[in-house]
Structure 1
Amino acid sequence: MSPALHSARQWAVLGAASALTVWAIYQPGDSTAVEQGLSLGLTFCVLFWVTAAASTDQLATPLRFNWRNTSHWVDALPLLLAGWVFLAGWVAAGCFSAELPKIGGNLRAATNEGWWWLAAAGWWIVSRRMMARPGSRSAMTGLLISVGVLLAVHTLHQQYISLPQTLRDYEANPDQQLALAGVVAPSGSAERMIFENRLRDGGPTATFALANSLAGPLAMIAAACLTILVDSRRRLAQHVGFYSIVAAAVCLILWALLISGSRSGVCSVVVAGIGFAAVSLARPHFSIGKRLIGIAVVASAAVMSLAAMAPNREWWSHAPATIQLRLQYWRSTLAMVWDHPWFGIGPGNFQLAYQKYRGANAHELIAEPHNFFFESLACGGWVAALMLLAFLIATLTQAAEEANSPSNPDSLSTFDSDGKQSWGPRLAVAGGGIAGIFVAWYIGITTGNVPDFEAHQFALPIAIAFAAGWLVWSPNIATEINFTRVGTVASAAGLIHLCFSSGWSIPGVAVVLVGFATMAVSAPTAAPEPTSKPMPPTQSTDTKSPFRTVTPHSRATGIAIAVTGIIALGTMWNFSIRPVAATQATLQRIDELMQRGRISTATQQLRTSLQVDPLARQPAIWLASIENRRWIASYLQSKSTTHSAAFTTAFETAAQRIGNDPSLLKAIGDMHLQRYQVAGQPEDLRQAADVFDQMIDLSPTHEAYVAQAAEIAWEQSDRGITPRVPPDDLAKRAMELSQSGGVITRFLAFQVILPAKVFGDRAASTFVTASAEDVFADRMAASPEQPKQSAGALPTER
C-alpha cells in the first residue's frame, strides 16, 4: 500500500472518531436515556467504527496476548469487564434461571446499556492506538477544547437567557410548559414541586440532562487547558495567539463550570491541579527556590479558587448534605450487591433495585449510585469491581512505565520538511467534527428533539472560531506540548468528579474521558504516522523504543475481528435497534391516533408492536389503558361488570411485561382503582390492593405507595374484607416516611393518591385524585358513632 493511501485511511479513522465524539456530546445526556435505547444509533456506529478500524492494520497491533505485558492487560481488562457486565444483564433478567428475578429484571434496559459498555471498551482499545500518534493527540485536543467551548457558551446562554425566559413562561402557563417538557405533574403534587425547584435552582445543563453530567466534560477540558498553559508557560511570548485562545477557552469553561453548581466538578479541577503541581515540583531539576515559588503559586491559586466560590453560601451549606446523600447511595449499593454478589443487578436496572434497598431518609430515586466504582459494582457484582480495580492498577502501571521511558512519545509525530506538523490529522478532525454536527442536528430534526437553536446560534460560531484558531496556530506549538501530561491531568479530574457524580455510562461523558485517558496511556506498539517525506532525526525507528513500528496482525486475525464485529452488529440490529425503533415509532403514531379518536386502529397497532418487540413495556401499558377505557364505557351503558377476553389478556400481558418496575405497576394499580371508583366492585379493589402490596415489597420506603395502600386497606376494612396489613399500621408508616429526611416534597400534602371510594360517572373520564393528607384526614375524622364513608354509603354518586 502506498504511503499516501495508508495515511488517508488512518485520517479517515481519525475523522470518523471526531464525528462520533461530537455526536455523543449531542446525545440525550443521562443514563436513563441510554437505558431507553435513545443512544442505540450512536452505539451501533461506534461498534461499526471499532470493527472497521480494528480489523485492518491501520491501528490494531498483533493480538498475541502476553500476561507479562502490562499494555495487553490495559486492553484486555476493559473488554472483559464490558463482556461480564453484558452477561450480567442477561443473568439478572433470569434468562438462565427457572425463577423470575425478585428485583430488576428489565432485559431491554440491560441490553440497551450493555451494548454501550461493549462499544466503550472497543472505543478505548482503538483510541489507544490512534492516540499514540501525537498528530492525532494534537488535533483531538483541539476538538475537545472546541467542544468544551460549545458547552460553555450553551451553559452561559441557558443561565442568563433561556432559563429565566422559561421560568417566566412557566409562571404564566404552568400546564403548557409541563406538557412541552413531557412531565406529568398535577397541581399540588410532589412531582410539580420537584420540577419547579429544578427550574429555579437546578442550574444549566447544556446538551445534557443534569448539571453534574455537564460538569464532567467541562472539568476535564478545563484541566487540560490549564495544564497546557502552565506546562508551556516559558514559550508564551513566542506563541501569543495560540495561548490567547487557550486562555480564553479556559476562562469560558471555568465560568460555565462554576455556574453549573457542581461541587464535584469544581473540586476535581482544583484537586487535579494541585496534584499536577505537586508532581511537577518534585522533579529533581527544580531548585529549592523554584519549589518555594511553585508552592506559593499553587497556594495562591487554591486561595483564589476558594475566594471565587466563597460568595455562594448555598454552594458550601449544601455540601454536607450532598456527601451524606452519596454515603446513603453507596450503603444501599453495598446491600444490593451483598444479595447479588456475582453478577450484581445488571446494567440498566439500578433504579429498579435501588428502591428495594433505599434508606428511609433517602428521598431521591436515583438512576446511578453517583460513583463510577459503585456503578460498575452494581452492574456486574464483585467480579466486575475487581476487574475495574485491576484495570486501574494496570493503567497506572503503564502510565508510569511511559513516563519513565527514555523516549518521548510526543516527539514521534509527522513533520513536514520545515518541521511543522502535517495538515492531514488536523483536516481529518475538522471535517469529522463538522460532519458530527450535521449528523446530530439531522437526527434531532427528524426525531423532533432539536437542540436549543437560540443557544447554538452563539455556541456553534464561537466553538468553530476556537477550532479554527487551534487549526492555524497549533502546528507552531504542538510539538512542545506534552499531551501525555495533558491527558493525565484531564482524565484524573474526570475520575475525581465521577467519584461523586454519575456519568460513567453516559456517552457524552465517556467519550471525553476516553479521549484524554488514551492520550495518557496510549498503546506503546502503535506505529508512527507514515509520511512520504523524510523524517527528521527525532523520527528514528530505533528498535529499542517502546513506540517502534510493529508487524501488522495477520490476515486471519483481521478476518476474525471483522467476523466477530459483524456478528455483534447484526445481533444488535435485530435484537435491539430494530424493535426499539419500531416501538418508539408506534408510540408516536398511537398518540396521534388517540387524539383523532381512532381507537380501533391504535389498538391494532399496539398489538402488532407487542409482537415486534417481546420486551416492550410501554405498548402493553397503553393497550391495557385502552381496554380499561372500553370497559368503563361499556359498564356505563350496560352496567355489566363482565371482562372481555381482550381486557383480561391486555392486563395479563401488561403485568408480565412490567415485571418488577414499581412506577409502571402503579399505572396498572391506578386503573384497577379507577374501575372501583366507577363501579365499586370488590374484585377491582382486591386487585388494586395486590398491585400496591407488590409495589411496597419492591419499594418499601416510598411514602406515596404506602399511603395509597393504607387508603385501599381502609376501604377493604369498611367493606368487610381483611387487608394484608392493617390500615392504621400502613397510615402510621406513611406518615413516618413522609417526615423522614425533612424533605418537603415527601410530605403527605404533596402525595397525590386515588381515594378508594365510588364516584360513578365522575371517575369515568379521569381519575379522581386527592392529596394523601386530605384523604387521611377524612378517614381519621370518622368515628364509630359516625360511620366512615364507603362504597355502600355513596349510592347517589354512581
Structure 2
Amino acid sequence: MKRGETATVHSPRGEPLPGPAGSASVSDGRLSTCLMVSCCLVWCRLLMPAESAARGDTALVVFAWCLFTSFVCWWQWRNAERIPLRIDGIDLCLAVICLMPMLSTMALWLTGGQLRSAVNMSWEWLGCLLAIVWCRQLWRRLSGDLPPRLLLALGIALSVQGIYQHHVQLPAARASILPLVQDWRELQQSLEQETGSAFLRQRQLEKKAELERRLYANGIPTDARGQDVFLQRLGSTEPFAFFALTNTLAGVLTVCLIFLCDAGTRLFTGSTLAEGHSWRRGLCLLLPLALVGYCLLLTKSRTAWLGCVVGGSYLLIAMLLQHPRQRRLVLKLGACVILVGLGLLVVTWGLGGVDTEVLTEAGKSLRYRGEYWSASSTMLADQWWLGVGPGNFRQNYLAYKLPESSEEILDPHNLLLDAWANGGVLGLLGTLALLFGVCHQALRQFRAAETSASPAEKDFPVKTRWPWLGLGTVAVLASLLASPRVSPLLEEILVTTLVAGIGLACLSVLPTASERCKRAWSAAALALLIHLLGAGGFSMPIILQLLLLLGLTWYLPGNWGVELRQRALPIVAGVCLCLAATGWWGVIAPDLASIQTEAELTSSRSAKESFAILKRWTEADRLSPDPWMQLSQFQQAEAERNRDATLLREAIASQQQAIVRDPRNYSGYRLLAGLERRLADWTGDAEAGSRAIQAQKMAIARYPHLANLHLELARYLESAGRQNEIPSIASEALRLDAINQKAGHPDRLLPEADLIWLKKW
C-alpha cells in the first residue's frame, strides 16, 4: 500500500464495513501508529512485576490506555476519520469478566474487605478490557508481524536476564543480604533479653534502627514470618527476570518457545533455504531457541513444560496435516526439536540448574495443588455469587486452608478458580466462554491452510523500522509508567533493550507468526492455558492479556457485531477521560503518596518527624491498612523504648484502624492481641488481658489451622489466670503440630520448649 492511501477495513466475511455518510477511513499511517502504540502498551508490562498490580505499581499503564482511547476517539470525531470498532460476543464476554470484579469491589464496601487492593485490581481489569478490545480491533486489520516480533525480542532478553540471575545475581545477593539479616536477628534477640546497661540498650536501639533502614532499602520485611519467606525465596535458584514469581516468567517463555518452534518449522518447510545463507538462518534460530529453552528449564515450572509439550504436539500434528507431501521432513524436524530439548536438559542438569527433585517431587506438588483447589472450592461454594473480591483471596482462603497444607497462597493456582474468586459465578462463566473461543479457534486452525501472500508481502526477511522503533518505545514506557517502587534501574532497561535489539536482529531473517499463520498463535494460547490451569496468574494483567490475545485476536464468531457509530466517539472519549481522572485520584495519587512516605521515612532523623510523616500517609490513603499498620508499629517501638503506656494505647488505636480497613486478615488481630497483652503486663489492667484473648480468638477464627496462634492464646490465658480454658487450646496446638510433623513442614513446627509446656496441660 502506498503512502497516503487509506486502509479498507472488511467485515469477518470479507465485505467492507459500512460507515456514516461523510466519514472516511483512517489513513494507513495513523492506523499503523495506533497499532504500534497498542503493542508497546501491552508489551511494556513484560518489564514490570505483574504480581504487584494489587499494590497499584502498574496503575499508570491503565491510565495511559484511558488517555489513548480518549485521544483516538476524539481525533476520529474531530477529523471525520474512523477506525471501525465492531463489538462482538467476545468483547461482551470480556466485559463480563473485567467488570464483575468491580461489582465484587462494590460489595466489599458493604461486607468488609481490603478495599485498597480491590480498587487497584478493579482499575487493572479496566485496563485489561481496553487493551484487549483495542488490540483485537487493530492487530487483525493490518498486515505485518510487529506484535510477535516484539514479544520474541523481549522474551529473548528476559531469558538472558534470567540466566544471569541464576548464575550471577542471586548468589551475589545471598552473599550480601544474609549477613545483614543475621545481624538484625542477633540484635533483636539481645534486645528481647533486656540485659546490659541503659546506655548499651540505647546504642543497640540506634543500631537496630539503622539495620531496619537497610533492610527496608533492600525490600526485606522485619517480621519473622515475612523474613523467613523472603530468605526462602532468596535461597532459591529459579530466575524471575523483571517479575516477582518464576511461574510468570515461565508463562512468557512458553509462548516465546512455541513461536520459535513454529518459525523453525516454517523455515525448513518453506522455500527460504533455497535462497541461500541457510547456515545463518539456522544459527539465528538455534541461538534464541537455546537461550529461551535453557531459561525455561531453569524456572523448574513443570506446568510450563507440560504446556510446551501440548503446544508443540499441536504444531507437529497440524504440520503433518497441512504438508502431507513433506511428512518425513516434518517428523525429522520434530525429532530435532526433541533432541535439542534433551540436550538442553542434559546441559542444565550438568550445570546444576535442575535436579532429580524436579521430577520426583512432581507428585508432592500435584498433591499440594489438590489441597489448594479443595480448600478454594469450599471457600467459593460459600461465596459463590460474587466471589471474595479482587485482591482479597488470601485473607478469605486461610479460614478454609486444610491443616496439612503449608503455603499461605495468594491465589488458588488455577485459572478457573481464580476467575471465580475475582468475579464471582458470572466472571467464571465469562471466562469459560472465552476459553471455549480459544479452543474453538485452535480447532479451526488445526486443518486450516496458511493464507497465501503475494511476493511483495513475504514476511522473511522483514525490513522495516517499526519493530526497532517499537522496542525503543517499550523501553521508554516501562521506565515512565512503572511505579518508582518497582521501576527497573535505567541501566537494566538499557541492557535489556540492547539484548532485545540483538534478538530482533536474529529474528529479522526468520519467519515469525504473522497474521498469515494463525496456527502458532493458537498453539501458544493452548500452551499458556495448560500452564495457567496449574499455576494460576489470572489476576496478573500481562498474563491474562497474553492468553486472550493469543487465542482470540483472530477469532471472529460469525458476522454478528455492533459497530460504534461516529456520534458515539465523543461520548467514549469523555467517559475514558473521566475514568482516567478517577483512576488518578483513587489509585495513582495514593500510590505516589505511599512511595513518597516510604522515601521520607528512610531519611527521617527524629521520632517526631517520622510520626508526622506517617500521619500524612494515613490521610493521603484512606483505604489502605498499611499506613495504620506502620503507624502502630512505630508507636509500639517508641512505647517500648520509653515504657510509655499512653503511647502503647495509641498504638492499639492505630492497629484497630488497620483492622477496620482489612477485617478478614488474621494478622491484624494477632498484632492487636500482642499489644493488648503488653498493656496488661505494664499496667495490670485485667480488661486489657481479656481484650487480648478476644483478639487472639478472632485471629484463630480467620486462620484456625496455625499452631502458633493456639500457643499464643494458651499463653494469654495463663497470664489472665484462666487456666481452666488452656487444656483444649493446648490439645489443638499439639494436634496441629503433629499434622505439620507428619506432612513434613519443618518451618511450621513449634519449638521444643513450647511443646513441653503445652504437654503439661
TM-score relative to the length of structure 1: 0.78
> 1:736 & 1:171 partners in 2: Cα distance?
31
SS of the residue 1:359 aligns to: coil
Give the aligned partner of residue 327 of structure 1. 370
Shift of 1:109: 0.6
1:537 is matched with none
Aligned pairs (5 A) from 1:52-91: 52-53=71-72, 60-63=83-86, 72-91=88-107
Which residue does 2:625 correspond to in 1? 617
> What's the RMSD between the two structures over aligned residues?
3.6
Partner amino acid, structure 2, of 1:156: I
| Equivalent residue number for residue 116 of structure 2 | 108
Report the equivalent of 1:42: 61
Q: Which amino acid aligns with 1:13?
A: C
2:691 corresponds to 1:675: no
Provide closer, same or farther for how the CA distance between residues 157 and 633 of structure 1 changes in structure 2, counting only shifts above 3 A. closer
CA contact (8 A) 1:167 1:199 kept: yes
CA distance in 2, matches of 1:266, 1:587: 40
Q: Give runs of aligned pairs for residues 418-437 of structure 1, distance below 5 A.
A: 426-437=464-475
- 2:409 is aligned to 366
Is 1:500 equivalent to 2:534 in the alignment? yes
The answer to whether the 8 A contact 2:160-2:291 is kept is yes
Separation (CA, whole Å) in 1 of partners of 2:745 and 2:298 = 24
On the 8 A contact 1:139/1:425 being kept in 2, the answer is no
2:705 and 2:583 map into 1 onto residues whose CA distance is 37
Write the distance in 1 (CA, Å) between the matches of 2:500 and 2:548: 21
Q: 1:402 to 1:227 in 2, by over 3 A?
A: closer
**1:222 correspondence with 2:254:** no
Deviation per CA, 1:601-637: give whole Å up to 9, x if none. Answer: 433443343333321211112333344456556755x
Counterparts in 2 of 1:358-397, with a 5 A limit? 358-397=401-440
Which ranges of structure 1 fall in alignment gaps of 5 or more residues?
66-71, 526-545, 750-772, 784-798
Q: Which residue of 2 aligns with 1:123?
A: 131
Work out whether 1:279 is the aligned partner of 2:318: yes
- Write the deviation string for residues 140-165 of structure 1: whole angstroms up to 9, x where unpaired: 21111110111000011111111222
Query: 1:494-643 to 2 correspondence within 5 Å?
Result: 494-521=528-555, 553-593=564-604, 596-599=605-608, 601-629=609-637
Q: Letter of the 1:388 partner, please give it.
A: T
Change (3 A) 1:227 1:338: same
Give yes or no for contact 1:27–1:507 (8 Å, CA) kept in 2. no
State whether structure 2 residue 501 is matched by structure 1 residue 485: no
Cα separation, partners in 2 of 1:59 and 1:28, compared to 1, 3 Å = farther
State the distance in 1 between where 2:700 and 2:549 align.
Answer: 44
Q: Does 1:210 align with 2:245?
A: yes
Match 1:743 to one of 720, 737, 745? 745
Q: CA deviation at 1:514?
A: 4.4
Q: Distance in 1 between matches of 2:469 and 2:70?
A: 21
Task: Judge which range, 369-378 or 308-317, deviates more.
Answer: 308-317
Matches within 5 A, 1:754-793: 773-778=752-757
The alignment partner of 2:50 has SS state of coil
Q: Which structure 2 residues correspond to residues 652-671 of structure 1 after superposition, within 5 A?
A: 652-671=656-675
1:14 aligned residue: 35
Instruction: State the shift of 1:457 in Å.
Output: 6.8
Which residue in the other structure is 1:796 paired with? Answer: none
C-alpha separation in 2, matches of 1:504 and 1:133: 27
Structure 1 residues 356-365 or 567-576, which shifts more?
567-576
Aligned pair in 2 of structure 1 residues 184, 294: CA closer, same or farther (>3 Å)?
Answer: same
Structure 2, unmatched stretches of 5+, are 7-25, 183-210, 350-354
Match of 1:27 among 45, 48, 71: 48
Amino acid at match of 1:386: L
Q: Check conservation: 2:451, 2:517, Cα contact below 8 A.
A: no
Change over 3 Å in CA distance of 1:86–1:35 after alignment to 2: same
SS of corresponding position for 1:357: coil
One-letter amino acid of the counterpart of residue 274, structure 1: S
Instruction: Give the paired residue count.
Output: 695
Q: Which amino acid aligns with 2:679?
A: R
Q: Distance in 2 between matches of 1:361 and 1:739?
A: 9
Residue 440 (structure 2) pairs with residue 440 (structure 1) = no
Instruction: Mark the CA change 1:551 to 1:616 in structure 2 (over 3 Å): closer, same or farther.
Output: closer
Contact 1:139 1:426 (8 Å CA) reproduced: no
Selected match of 2:298 from 251, 259, 262: 259
Shift of the alpha carbon at 1:776?
4.3
Contact 2:118 2:390 in 1 (8 A): yes
Please report how far the alpha carbon of residue 668 of structure 1 lies from its aligned counterpart in structure 2 after TM superposition: 2.7
Distance 1:2 1:262, change over 3 A: same
Q: The residue matched to 1:748 in structure 2 has which SS?
A: coil
Matched, 1:159 2:178: no
Q: Which residue of 2 aligns with 1:530?
A: none
What are the superposed Cα offsets for residues 358-396 of structure 1, whole Å, 9 maximum, x if unpaired? 111111011111121111011122221111111222344
- 2:49, 2:486 within 8 Å by CA — same for their partners in 1? no
| In structure 2, distance between residues paired with 1:329 and 1:51 | 42
CA contact (8 A) 2:711 2:730 kept: no
* C-alpha distance in 1 between matches for 2:617 and 2:222: 28
- 1:164/1:456 Cα in 2 relative to 1: closer, same or farther (>3 Å)? farther
Cα 1:497–1:86, aligned 2, differ >3 Å: closer, same or farther?
A: same
Note closer, same or farther for the CA distance 1:60–1:669 as it changes in structure 2 (3 Å cut).
farther
CA contact (8 A) 2:94 2:129 kept: yes
- 1:429-468 CA deviation, whole Å, 9 max, x = no partner? 4323212213434567x82645367766754322212224
Contact 2:624 2:661 (C-alpha < 8 Å) held by counterparts: yes
CA contact (8 A) 1:675 1:684 kept: yes
Distance 2:410 2:562 in 1: 45
Distance 2:123 2:91 in 1: 18
In structure 2, do the counterparts of structure 1 residues 727 and 338 end up closer, same or farther at CA, with 3 Å as the change threshold?
closer
Shift of 1:62: 4.8
Is residue 353 from structure 1 mapped to residue 332 from structure 2 by the alignment?
no
Q: Find 2:149's aligned residue among 129, 133, 142.
A: 142
Counterpart secondary structure, 2:476: helix
Q: By how many angstroms is 1:658 displaced?
A: 3.1
Separation of aligned partners in 2, 1:710 and 1:22: 52
CA displacement 1:319-361 (0-9 Å, x = unmatched)? 1111111111111121111101111111111111111111111
- Aligned-pair CA distance for 1:242: 4.8
- Give 1:713 deviation, angstroms: 2.3
The residue type equivalent to 1:359 in the other structure is L
CA contact (8 A) 1:703 1:738 kept: no
Q: 2:730 aligns with which of 728, 740, 749?
A: 728
- Contact between 2:438 and 2:548, CA under 8 Å: does it hold in 1? no
Alpha-carbon distance in structure 2 between the residues aligned to 1:779 and 1:203: 39
Q: Aligned partners of 1:218, 1:626: CA distance in 2, in Å?
A: 43
Over 3 Å counting, the alpha-carbon distance change for 1:598 and 1:225 in structure 2 is: same
Query: Deviations 1:235-291 (Å, cap 9, x if unpaired)?
Result: 3413644554233212110111011111111221112101221233234x626xx55
With over 3 angstroms needed to count, the CA separation of the structure-2 counterparts of 1:29 and 1:740, relative to structure 1, is farther
